[in-house]
Amino acid sequence: MKTHTLLMPLDMHLHLRDGVMLENVAPLSAYSFSGGLIMPNLVPPIETLEDVKAYKQRIMAAVPNDYFEPYMTLFYKNYDKRFLASVAQDIMAIKLYPAGITTNSEGGVSSFNVEEMRQTLEAMSVLGIPLCVHGETNGFVMDREAEFMSIYEILAKNFPDLKIIMEHITTKAAVEMLDKYENLYATITVHHLLFTLDDVVGGMMMPHNFCKPIAKRPEDLDALLSVALEAHPKVMFGSDSAPHPRSKKESAGCAAGVFSAPIALQLLCEIFEQYDKLDNLQAFVSDNAQSIYKICPEFKEIILEKRPFVVPDDYGNVVPMYAGRVINWAIQSVE
């Protein structure tokens, strides 16, 4: 039976939520990943050192039997340098959300005035704290990421020493931006390597495929594949796994988010094998992130095997992507 081994896989964009949902989904990521960059858009958001420490404790309590390092983030505000210096050892990055653009982002940034942001972003540059960005405007939904490229350019030019991560990129325009500025990096999800908009609303609405940023066009998917499959040194895996209760997904409102954490590595094996690029998967799911974030996760070995695996219909009250479908790879063992 064909197998493939991954060492210290990392999920550098992960939503674990809180409370009962956290207790349900955190063990699923901790089982197969060595660590994850934890998003701070809770209610209320993670904005203080006390928030960071308390949330990390809740995460660790939810995964007591698995080694898993939660790399913590702060919700972006215009913090001063003194505060940032006091939290720098406890966080991996700061996450910026445009106001109201995605789940629990109402307190995000409403104006990208560089001078208003300068104190914070210059302090982050000096302290070596990366800026992670949900890069969308509030324009037409298919154009939101492409429209945000001009904001990335402004940030990259004005703060050349600031490491900026374009989160969950979905467009050819974002891929082209990677090599334009030395300080721009990106995460890519597994679902954006599989879905176009047709997979969301091409036939019947598929609520469990609906996310923000929304899946785009075939040419965008091809551009994402081109850099992910080659493990471009400035890209890394970030699932953006975003669980919602079934009642919030299968409803008129349909919350945005794809829950992929339990099957992400299996699907990545399938994709990389399809294109004869399995040798590059290690860099995409771990090595690049270690280099970009300067981290050294503790050893974890995941052995995957090529055999049919039926994706569960649900995990508690959360429905995963591809629920009930057969995929071609499964996790054989975790050491």
User: Whole-angstrom Cα distance, residue 171 to residue 143?
Assistant: 9
Q: Which run of H or E residues covers position 35?
A: strand 35-38
Question: Can 240 be counted among the known catalytic residues?
Answer: yes
Judge if the upstream peptide bond of residue 213 is cis by omega within 30 degrees of 0.
yes
* Angle at the Cα of 77 from the Cα atoms of 76 and 81, rounded to 5 degrees: 100
CB 14 within 8 A of CB 241: yes
- For 322, left (φ over 0), alpha (ψ -120 to 50), or beta? left
User: Whole-angstrom Cα distance, residue 95 to residue 199?
Assistant: 28
Residue from 11, 51, 220, 240 carrying the catalytic annotation = 240
Determine how β-strand 301-310 pairs with β-strand 326-334: antiparallel
User: Whole-angstrom Cα distance, residue 140 to residue 142?
Assistant: 6
Residues belonging to the active site? 240
